[in-house]
Chains A and B, each alone.
Chain A
């Protein structure tokens, strides 16, 4: 006597697999296959024009270790990421706290701060490129108050600052909205109890607000760190990696090597390095969540 093949549990299993199939297929096609290919390319010397594709083993990785320009790119990336994450998160939290007050006009200001998020990144950056010229709008504005503004995009120090600020203004609204949502989820009775206990506003912020919104802080910090490591369009439009190599971040360096200098194999090697860095940073943040995210402890 044969048992029925489609038992209840097998049906459930099939249904489960079918449910995840579209997502899985997408991941395999657009994430894991390209990822594998990039690793495969990184083991080759690929000259696009001559149409040659030669296996070189670990040569590209050796070149990576010997590349004198890589250190500069990593330092620039570190500066950019650190500057962006600190400025973006603190500004987003500050704005969220301010706009969480029951005051007139908060809706207007929320809209103002969020609107850059929906603007096309390249259009946004091109406009800023005009504003930041030596004879551009920012310096004209500074001149009206008697300040002789620097040549923003041409100075070694100011170029990186300009790129960071342009990016922060573009994206701070997104983190602000996430923080706002988190702030509104904090139960009001906690503040009432603290007020009864005589806790100051500052004490309430540090001991109630921050712990209660810590899952959102984790989320926004991961998104912002990962996003900051992938900055490209802003650099391409504003500075092209200059002056010198002061704003040549890893992704821009990768682009130069692969698409401008035609070293596709080496470009792929740099992609692998970028992937490893992002993975490592994300894992570190994920591990640390138990230490400081309130709901995880």
Chain B
């Protein structure tokens, strides 16, 4: 092999960075406009609805020749989006995950929306719930529209619970006994009987630890203080919550251990904690199921919500048109249509009646208990500027916790040592 060939091979990794070089400054144009919006859903029904809304917009705005919805896989969504932006190939509009909200909102990458939404006909921006928009605001300005505010709930396989002779969560709620202790004992009993998993915190997989906030919030624990400066992992509520979780995993065997995969929606687990938007996966379910709120923790009842925002990128060639389309996409009429899949931030549309029309799989009391009550009281999953780096540091520092003989307090102290320099930035 020639040296030159070796050099070529050696720079293969380098290339990917190099190719990200090109990209020009945006110039406002007056000609035909084509918009691209990145999303992480490739669900046909979702895309069909988006395209219908886009067609209606194009009919009103002939200048806009195309609105393209570009699905990017969820797992690599933010990374792919940032890479596209770095390569000068960013979209005009983008869905944003709550964990990247502070980075996008504070960086100046997004177009402030207040003026556009204020001017839009019949928009009624005052209808947007303040608890839903707070994550997407900086310096009092709204930088992204929280198109989905989706609470976490517990999906239950009632067949597996009954087979194990356990009370269902619905019965426990009626008896005022739907607590974490009870949930874990039910899950452990069901798992022992069925040989399948008990309770699965969906998408956690011992890596995406922010999903555990659906558990520790019941203990009043938090990853960091609301101002983002103080680490919460070594505080007593977190130590208590993690001790409980560790015991549930390794002693009670109520949760599957690390490296064990179990998909509730394929009937492989008795219960799972996830967002209500996953209900669509139960369309063809072969088992009896229910959706209930999160169990109460030592601190009482609580709710956790995941959010997704929609923003217009400032760097796009047609940022003004993109913002205008955003206003159309999220106006009261279209918001009601989107509510079929994404719980809306509009208070007027957050009623069990409105949601029931578009969520036929869920009963009114499920919608009221889990969705509407959840949104009004919910704590948003943890997010911080520079979240990806912090998330990685927490993941690495938490790894020693997922062993039967872990020193929980020491591990959690280690998490704080690892992230304190990052929180201080």
Contacts and interface: CB of A to CB of B under 8 A. Distances in A.
A275 B21 contact: no
Given A51-B315, A133-B260, A154-B258, A31 B396 contact: no
Contact of A244 (B1, B14, B259, B396): B396
B111 to A, nearest CB: 13
B82 interface: yes
Contacts of B83: 259
A245 B85 contact: no
Contact of A271 (B14, B109, B258): B14
Contacts of A219: 1
A199 B307 CA distance: 75
Interface stretch (A103-111, A113-121, A166-174, A262-270): A262-270
Interface stretch (A6-14, A33-41, A79-87, A206-214): A33-41
Given A154-B259, A222-B6, A264-B86, A31 B11 contact: yes
B94 to A, nearest CB: 11
B257 A244 contact: no
Contacts of B400: 243-244
Contacts of A46: 86
A242 interface: yes
Given A27-B8, A37-B21, A271 B3 contact: no
Contacts of B18: 33-35, 37-38
Contacts of B257: 134, 151
Interface in A222-280: 222-223, 226-227, 230, 232, 240-245, 251, 254, 256, 258-262, 264, 267-268, 271, 274-275, 278-279
Contact of B261 (A31, A133, A282): A133
B399 A243 contact: yes
Interface centre among B8, B9, B21, B206 (most CB of A within 10 A): B9
Given A219-B1, A244-B400, A268-B17, A133 B386 contact: no
B17 A258 contact: yes
Interface string B306-350: 000000001100000000000000000000000000000000000
B11 A34 contact: yes
B238 to A, nearest CB: 20
Nearest to A42: B17
A284 interface: no
B131 interface: no
Contacts of B86: 46, 48, 264
Contacts, number: 138
A271 B396 contact: no
B82 A41 contact: no
Nearest to A282: B6
Contacts of A130: 261
Interface stretch (B53-61, B214-222, B375-383, B387-395): B387-395
Given A30-B15, A49-B109, A267-B17, A261 B386 contact: yes
A152 interface: yes
A204 interface: no
Interface centre among A41, A152, A242 (most CB of B within 10 A): A242
B207 A242 contact: yes
B108 interface: yes
Interface string B239-267: 00000000000000000011111000000
A65 interface: no
A135 B261 contact: yes
Given A152-B259, A260-B389, A48 B13 contact: no
A275 B14 contact: yes
Interface string B1-27: 101101111111111011111000000
Contacts of B43: none
B13 A251 contact: yes
Nearest to B109: A49
Nearest to A153: B259
Contacts of B13: 230, 232, 251, 254, 271, 274
B287 to A, nearest CB: 21
Contacts of A50: 107-109
Nearest to B79: A259
A41 B202 CA distance: 39
B104 interface: yes
A286 interface: yes
Interface string B201-245: 000001100000000000000000000000000000000000000
Given A48-B82, A134-B257, A274-B13, 15 more contacts: A27-B8, A31-B11, A34-B15, A34-B18, A35-B11, A35-B18, A47-B107, A49-B107, A154-B206, A154-B402, A244-B396, A259-B79, A259-B82, A260-B389, A261-B386
Interface of B: 1, 3-4, 6-15, 17-21, 79, 82-83, 85-86, 103-104, 107-109, 206-207, 257-261, 314-315, 386, 388-389, 392, 395-397, 399-400, 402
The 5 closest A-B pairs by CB, nearest first: A34-B18, A134-B259, A49-B107, A278-B10, A243-B399
25 contacts: A27-B4, A27-B8, A31-B7, A34-B14, A34-B18, A37-B18, A38-B17, A48-B82, A49-B82, A50-B109, A51-B109, A51-B315, A130-B261, A151-B257, A152-B259, A222-B6, A227-B9, A243-B400, A243-B402, A259-B82, A262-B82, A262-B103, A264-B20, A274-B10, A278-B10
